[in-house]
Amino acid sequence: DAKTTQPPSMDCAEGRAANLPCNHSTISGNEYVYWYRQIHSQGPQYIIHGLKNNETNEMASLIITEDRKSSTLILPHATLRDTAVYYCIVRVPRGTGTASKLTFGTGTRLQVTL
Amino acid sequence: ETGVTQSPTHLIKTRGQQVTLRCSSQSGHNTVSWYQQALGQGPQFIFQYYREEENGRGNFPPRFSGLQFPNYSSELNVNALELDDSALYLCASSLDLQHTDTQYFGPGTRLTVL
């Protein structure tokens, strides 16, 4: 699985959009971009994933560049409850002959403040 | 729909003992993955089970073993506990379908080895 690079920490004011970047310059054509977050001492929570098109769900939007070498997770109106470590992961889904493991990096610690 | 559950929540053992951790998959899921998360680090893949067979393994010694049952619940067993085994152990379940095998995590079991 391709490696990802994320800033170690970011701050965001409550109510504003939080834009979390991720670089994955060695991503392969069949690798998806996944985002998870982990609130202190809890299990990681799935947020969103995509292959090459932009995706949106009730939690967030995922913007993937045309060359797929980077992406941005957008939390449109951050709240204090969004304070967490956000992990960007690229992986090949199951069905390609390998275990569909998630390889976590160190993530971005997002602090949402009043 | 019931999410992923894990038991126990917390556990304290002494060095050399054996421990069994349990995981119940999300309804309809047939694949279980186990991760170890040491303090301050991202989760590390231990192994994955699909239809009661080990489907892949990370860089963990054989004293880490597992089982998956016909109802897709799972156990993680660790023998000869070492101090470094102190960690949050996470279980994630998924449905094995190509291109859409998103893993959903349980709350974890906090293991302390004294």
Contact B98/A94, CB-based, under 8 Å? Answer: yes
Low-confidence ranges of chain B (pLDDT < 50): none
CA end-to-end span of chain A, whole Å? 37
Which of B31, B100, B102, B112 is the best mutation test for A, with the most CBs of A within 10 A? Answer: B102
Binned at pLDDT 50, 70 and 90, residue A33 comes out as: very high
Residues in chain B within 8 Å Cβ distance of A59: none
Please check whether residue A107 is in contact with residue A101, taking contact to mean a CB–CB distance below 8 angstroms: no
Tell me whether B5 touches chain A (CB under 8 Å). no
Distance CA B14, CA B19 (A): 10
Q: Per residue in A41-91, pLDDT tens?
A: 899 999 999 999 899 999 999 999 999 999 999 999 999 999 999 999 998
Q: Per residue in B3-18, pLDDT tens?
A: 999 999 999 999 999 9
Cα–Cα separations (whole angstroms), residue B48 to A53, A68, A103, A109, B14: 29, 28, 13, 28, 26
Q: How confident is the model at residue B38, as a pLDDT? A: 95
pLDDT higher than threshold 90 for residue A27 = yes
CA dihedral sign of residues B9, B42, A90, A35: positive
Q: How confident is the model at residue A98, as a pLDDT? A: 58
Distance from CA of A99 to the nearest CA of B (A): 5
